[in-house]
A and B are shown apart, each in its own frame.
Chain A
Amino acid sequence: MNNPVKDPLDELFSSLNDLVQESPSPAFVQDLEARLDALEKKRRKPLLIWWFFSALGAVLFSGSYFLFFSNHAANQGQQHAENKNNTSAQAMTKKQMDTTSFASEFSSLFHPSTSTSSSSSSSSSSSFSSSSTNLIAAHPTTSSTLLSSSVSSSNAAPSTDKTRVQEETYIINPILLSDDHEKDCVLIVDQPTPVLPKAVVPTKKRIQHQIGLQFGVSGIFSSFDLPASHPLLTDDQMKLFRETREFGERNTSSWDFNLRYGMSINNWQLQTGLHYFEWGEQLQYDVISVEGTNRYRYLSVPLLLGYSFDFGKIRMSPFTGLAYGKCLTANGNYIEPQVNGVTLVTAKNFAGTFIGQLELQYVLNSKLVFTCTPVYRRSLGPLIDQQMIVNSYQSLGLQTGFLYRF
């Protein structure tokens, strides 16, 4: 603001700059109060939005926590039962071996004709009692009755089929193998060695495909770099420019859409698709007339690699990767380095983005999965690099959606 030689006419009119003490009319005050009320409402609105998202986050977190732990507890119970199963089975085997050898010796003393093939006898009784074991398990109170019948049957009609016993697979109800019923089990005499099912480990690759749609909101954090000096600006001007930008450029939010395709090979996940997201910032410079929001919209193709951890119906998959996209809206404006006017800028037409995300999936059924994904994004290099305006961006957001598995 410098005007060294003043025209007399200019001087005459510059007297209009002198202040005259004056109070606002009631109409002005009324109008102002209405505007201040509107401003107050506008200030409260973002607070409500943050409350809403915080509550949503809390619900999702507690829901996931509950589901995870209930599932985890069930898994632990099952594992505990399996352990007992193994222990009981071992005890049964030991006892059965003892009783079998005792029975064969006893049989050879009193029935020398039938003892010629003790193994065959024991096998045959085993084969019968193997079928009766399920009944015993289901009705432990009747075990003794069935046991006696099994013994008598085996004596009455001994079978010579040795291989049948070894091929027989026992399904033992884990409830019956608790402490209360363990006694019933070990009381069984002439039981065959139960052949427990081997853990089936698939050696074949499991490939699954997924398509899905997700949407969400991200908070964008803008940062800018300034050179240490500029040939046309003094240090004070540089400082003013930096401070004006720091005060005047604020974080903003963006809508995110994600049309995705994924493929999983065992626990490894590969993801691609189309990502729509925005970079930008809110402008509220108080020293120049520019205000509004710069939005640089990008449509990107991501390539993400992840690994999933299964907890029953809950699956947690950290992903990381890059996206490369085309700018849909590239124009923005910023304050000029002289802090007087506006600099028009254009964002990069093609830009890369680093993506890291932690996908939480809840399996609704064999086909449908609900996802909730916190996503972190960072622009690779400055998105705007025009003289004194060098801007980079990061964002943190939450996306929710559904996946269809096939």
Chain B
Amino acid sequence: MNLEPELQLLQAAAAGERRAQLALYELCYPVLISAARRYYHNTDEQMTVVNNSFVKVIQYLNNYETGRFLSWVKRIISNEIIDEYRRNKRYNELYRFDAPVEERGAPDFQTDQIFSHEQLQRMLLSLSEPARLVFNLFAIEGYSHKEIAQMLGVTEETSKWHTKMARKKLRELIENIHE
């Protein structure tokens, strides 16, 4: 499925044409809402972060150079979520855990069960906020611990610790579903 927008659409949206902006919104919406749902329970919170991110897309459309447009949009919403996290002063929670983390051995988790998006989202949202944030960035968005540490202003150890805690919790949840 090729979702990359036409250049003309981008130019019209950047010029302030409302119809083009709404057409672009339709195109970006799946990317934006899927990211928002991984971080927020509440529809209002999801709406806020989705629309704030899209407004930034419009604002900085002139800076966008040819490339993968939707990847650029994904980065914008990730940044918006981190910002939101900072604004709500939940940032300090990240600093609580700074103990060294032992490197994980061979993956010991295996499952044949197929989970729906909704089930996975529900499990993800049951994590604590810092663990959810770090796990999202690491496991789903593909950032390295070094990058997460730089983005969030924490140490790599902290990022690893939150990932480990998130995995542990998610395994428990999956095992509970099995039972």
Contact = CB atoms under 8 A, between A and B. Distances in A.
Interface of A: 1-3, 7-10, 12-17, 19-24, 27-29, 31-33, 35-36, 39-40, 43, 247-248, 284, 286-289, 291, 336, 338, 340-342
A139 to B, nearest CB: 76
B45 interface: no
B131 interface: no
A288 B22 CA distance: 25
Interface string B1-40: 1010000000000001010011001100111011000100
Contacts of B107: 7-9
A169 to B, nearest CB: 75
18 contacts: A1-B142, A9-B109, A10-B167, A13-B140, A24-B25, A28-B50, A31-B47, A35-B54, A36-B58, A43-B16, A286-B76, A287-B79, A288-B151, A289-B83, A289-B86, A336-B150, A338-B150, A340-B151
A21 B117 CA distance: 13
Contact of A342 (B18, B26, B54, B153): B153
The listed residue with most A CB atoms (<10 A of its CB), out of B63, B86, B143, is B63
Contacts of B93: none
Nearest to A288: B79
A12 B120 contact: yes
A23 B26 CA distance: 6
B68 interface: no
A13 B140 CA distance: 6
Contacts of B155: none
B52 interface: yes
Contacts of A23: 26, 29
B88 to A, nearest CB: 13
Contact of A3 (B59, B76, B80, B142): B142
B37 to A, nearest CB: 8
A7 B104 contact: yes
Given A7-B104, A28-B47, A36-B18, A20 B80 contact: no
A14 B55 contact: no
A336 B152 CA distance: 12
A7 B51 CA distance: 33
B102 to A, nearest CB: 15
Nearest to B80: A289
Contacts of B117: 15-16, 20
Contacts of B59: 39, 284
Interface of B: 1, 3, 16, 18, 21-22, 25-26, 29-31, 33-34, 38, 47, 50-52, 54-56, 58-60, 63-64, 72, 75-76, 79-80, 82-83, 86, 104, 107, 109-111, 115, 117, 120-121, 124, 135, 138-144, 147, 150-151, 153, 167, 170-171, 174
B58 A39 contact: yes
A9 B47 contact: no
A341 B51 contact: no
B109 A8 contact: yes
A40 to B, nearest CB: 6
A40 B16 contact: yes
A248 B56 CA distance: 13
B18 A9 contact: no
A16 B58 contact: no
B142 A7 contact: no
Given A3-B144, A10-B139, A17-B34, A29 B25 contact: yes
A35 B51 CA distance: 8
Nearest to A4: B144
A167 to B, nearest CB: 82
A14 B139 contact: yes
B30 A20 contact: yes
B83 A9 contact: no
B150 to A, nearest CB: 3
Contact of A36 (B55, B79, B109, B174): B55
Given A21-B30, A24-B25, A29-B22, 18 more contacts: A1-B141, A3-B142, A3-B144, A7-B107, A9-B107, A13-B124, A13-B140, A16-B34, A16-B121, A20-B117, A22-B30, A23-B29, A28-B47, A39-B59, A286-B75, A287-B79, A289-B86, A341-B150
B31 A19 contact: yes
A136 B138 CA distance: 104
Nearest to B82: A289
Contacts of A29: 22, 25
